[in-house]
Amino acid sequence: MSGKMVEIRWHARGGQGAKTAAMFLAEAVLTKGKYGQGFPEYGPERRGAPMRGFTRISDVPIRRHCMIENPGIVIVLDSSLLDSPAAGVTAGTSETTVFLVNTTDAPATVSKKLGVKGAKVHTVDATGIALETIGRPIPNMPMVGALLAVNDMLSLDELKGALVEQLSSKFSQVVIDGNLAAIDRANKELVSA
Amino acid sequence: MEQKLVALSGNEAVAYAFKQARPHVAAAFPITPQTEMMHKYAEFVANGESTTEMILVESEHSAMSAAIGSAAAGARTFTATSSAGFALMWEVVYIAASLRLPICMAMVNRALSGNINIHCDHSDSMGGRDAGWLHLFSENAQESYDNSIMAWRIAEHMDVRLPVMVNYDGFIISHTADALYMLPDDAAWKFIGKYNAAYTLLNPEKPITVGPLDLTDYYFEHKTSQMAAYEKAPAIIQQVSDEFADLTGRRYGFAEEYKLDDAEMVMVLLGSSAGTCKDVIDEYREKGVKVGLLKLRTFRPFPAAYLAKVLGGRKAVCVLDRSASFGGQGGPLFTETRSAMYGQQVPVHGYIYGLGGRDFDLRQAATVIENLKKVAAGGEIADINLLGVRL
């Protein structure tokens, strides 16, 4: 069961859209015939406070409803969380864990900061991309675009199709176009160690 | 039946199911601890997707009171609550059942204060277990949706005519996006059907009195007739569930029996932790450990005879409660299950777990199975054990 399942943990600050991304991805993979489960960790909800989100993706229905302790992929939307032991970015990770970090730093710098031996670290300036494409520092969707550069759970076109379908009723065309552009750019601009 | 695969939170799934029943009235307190379920439903109404009349009130006590007035007037009625909201409804929750009003309620199971906690446990609904409602429990978004479709048929059946609460775990299910199959609106409507109230407050041709003074002369007789409805409820629940299985392919009974056929050891529990246990049970099964799971769906009516039969002859049984009964003999599911097993030589022990949303993880499920193995081999264990707590 766990062998076929991808488990993703999101680390972010309130307001960066990690909850939306964690749940959006769970829905987007349905188009591919996969099953998804997405949930945030709820607490005192404050803009700027550290928070975590979780996404499971599997070829078979997902039955477990517990936190993700040993994520295969860790996505960090706010690089200041790397300096906070309480954020627990490396908790439960191993040398097979893939890290995706929103930062202007190089993967080697982040890798050193994380201190996890052998883990694959990728970086992308998702906030910069979001500012240029969406006009707001919301790095969630660019990070999903970057994720698809290291995992083939969805193609870029499938992701963008799901985004248009899910967000059309909630956001203006300008916002959607900005997100689509952000996804493309982050997917291309991801830097790997 | 063609069903659409969607990803929705438990709250959204239940809101859709209730919308498909085309209720006349929804009465609700619109502020926390109310959940997104009612938020979503209010959106349907605001967008013109539902003609339900929303009555937004100043407290849960008023929400249930308004639901009672509405149902007594003959309207198909629902409400939703959670945690302290249910506690505030307390007095009128009994009245809904005593008046035999088929109100449906989404019950997002969350802890009670104090201290202040917003997360999942079953303390809220368990406090109202003797109030006379039928309690259906759900493991995931799919079951929350399915129970919310079937609830109407069960509540409104003339042999039952009792309010039904659909329980699903706060946050773990209510706020998690999960894949589920949904019925098309017309198919759901065809299954649920139109509600015809037998007696209504507003029919001058057939005048009735509702909720009069009922003292030493007749109160006891009325309670006895109320008790009789719970005797009839199991057959109706099964009948409705079988019809639902014919329509959807998803089969329900009083419980889900997971790998029970040859199980020597059985875990009994309610709600979302069942899925986590199933994954761990599969791992143990690969190692040849004969362990299975019985996930109860109907806590009220409590299927005692069924449990006695299914659990009889096993080497060890344990019961997991996501609520405490302070000063009692373990959690409510444990005491009732062990009582159902009275006279059988099957060792039954209990756990309290997951209070206030404490994560029930794979390790805890494994601990439970390891303990079952010890008991099955003749070992001793305390009646009541704690899981996942720092001591």
Kindly state whether residues B195 and B328 are assigned to the same domain: no
**Amino acid sitting at position B298:** T
Task: Answer yes or no: do B7 and A27 touch at CB < 8 A.
Answer: yes
Domain termination residue (choose one: B197, B223, B248): B248
Domain termination residue (choose one: B202, B219, B248): B248
Is the pLDDT confidence value at A3 over 60? no
The encoded tokens of residue B313 equal 């002859």
Is the pLDDT confidence value at B283 over 80? yes
Smallest CA–CA distance, residue A69 to chain B, in Å, is: 9
Other Cβ atoms within 10 Å of B201 Cβ, number: 15
Task: Answer yes or no: do A40 and B361 touch at CB < 8 A.
Answer: no
Tell me if B391 is assigned to some domain: no
Kindly state whether residues B348 and B200 are assigned to the same domain: no
Q: In this predicted model, what pLDDT tens digit does every residue of B170-217 receive, in sequence order? A: 999 999 999 999 999 999 999 999 999 999 998 899 999 999 999 999
Between A1 and B30, the higher pLDDT residue? B30
Kindly state whether residues B115 and B70 are assigned to the same domain: yes
Given this model, what pLDDT does residue B358 score? 97
Given this model, what pLDDT does residue B14 score? 98
Tell me if B84 is assigned to some domain: yes
CATH number for B120: 3.40.50.970
Tell me if B67 is assigned to some domain: yes
CATH number for B261: 3.40.50.920
Smallest CA–CA distance, residue B356 to chain A, in Å, is: 12
Domain boundaries, chain A: 2-192
CB of B272 within 8 Å of a chain A CB? The answer is yes
Q: Three-class SS of residue B103?
A: coil
Between strands B255-258 and B291-296, the pairing is: antiparallel
Given this model, what pLDDT does residue A2 score? 45
Cβ(B170)–Cβ(B83) under 8 Å? yes
What burial letters (b/e) apply to A110-142, b meaning 16+ CB within 10 Å?
bbebbebeebbbbbbbbbbbbeebbeeebbbbb
Tell me if B204 is assigned to some domain: yes
Q: Three-class SS of residue A107?
A: helix
Closest-approach residue (CA) in chain B for A29:
B7
Task: Answer yes or no: do B276 and A63 touch at CB < 8 A.
Answer: yes
Is the pLDDT confidence value at A162 over 70? yes
State the Cα–Cα distance between residues B89 and B125, nearest whole angstrom: 11
Q: How far apart are the first and last CA of chain A?
A: 30
For chain A, give the percent of residues with pLDDT over 70: 98
Given this model, what pLDDT does residue A169 score? 84
Residues of B in contact with A62 (CB under 8 A): 178-179, 275
State the Cα–Cα distance between residues A126 and B244, nearest whole angstrom: 48
The encoded tokens of residue A150 equal 């290291």
- Mean pLDDT of all residues in A120-132: 97
Smallest CA–CA distance, residue B177 to chain A, in Å, is: 5
Is the pLDDT confidence value at B366 over 90? yes
Task: Answer yes or no: do B361 and A67 touch at CB < 8 A.
Answer: yes
Q: With a cut of 0.90, is the ipTM above it?
A: yes
Task: Answer yes or no: do B7 and A36 touch at CB < 8 A.
Answer: yes
The range of the structural domain enclosing residue B289 comes to 255-386
Between strands B53-56 and B4-9, the pairing is: unpaired
Kindly state whether residues B214 and B308 are assigned to the same domain: no
Least confident window among B197-206, B230-239, B258-267: B197-206
Kindly state whether residues B230 and B274 are assigned to the same domain: no
Among the listed residues A121, A116, A138, A128, the one whose alpha carbon sits nearest the alpha carbon of residue A185? A128
Is the pLDDT confidence value at B151 over 80? yes
**Amino acid sitting at position B38:** M
State the Cα–Cα distance between residues B155 and B76, nearest whole angstrom: 10
**Amino acid sitting at position A136:** R
Given this model, what pLDDT does residue A1 score? 44
**CATH level 2 (architecture), domain A2-192:** 3-Layer(aba) Sandwich (3.40)
Kindly state whether residues B204 and B300 are assigned to the same domain: no
Tell me if B109 is assigned to some domain: yes
Q: In this predicted model, what pLDDT tens digit does every residue of B63-111 receive, in sequence order? A: 999 999 999 999 999 999 999 999 999 999 999 999 999 999 999 999 9
CB of B7 within 8 Å of a chain A CB? The answer is yes
Given this model, what pLDDT does residue B157 score? 97
Task: Answer yes or no: do A65 and B173 touch at CB < 8 A.
Answer: yes
Q: In this predicted model, what pLDDT tens digit does every residue of A45-91 receive, in sequence order? A: 788 899 999 999 999 999 999 999 999 999 999 999 999 988 999 99
Kindly state whether residues B100 and B213 are assigned to the same domain: yes
Other Cβ atoms within 10 Å of B336 Cβ, number: 18
Task: Answer yes or no: do A67 and B175 touch at CB < 8 A.
Answer: no
Which residues pair with residue B181 across a beta bridge?
B5
CB of B187 within 8 Å of a chain A CB? The answer is no
Kindly state whether residues B222 and B371 are assigned to the same domain: no
Given this model, what pLDDT does residue B149 score? 98
Q: How far apart are the first and last CA of chain B?
A: 51
Kindly state whether residues B209 and B312 are assigned to the same domain: no
Given this model, what pLDDT does residue A166 score? 86
The encoded tokens of residue B106 equal 């989404």
For chain B, give the percent of residues with pLDDT over 90: 98
CB of B34 within 8 Å of a chain A CB? The answer is no
Task: Answer yes or no: do B273 and A65 touch at CB < 8 A.
Answer: yes
Number of domains in chain B: 2
Residue matched to tokens 């982040």? A110
Kindly state whether residues B260 and B168 are assigned to the same domain: no
Kindly state whether residues B79 and B225 are assigned to the same domain: yes
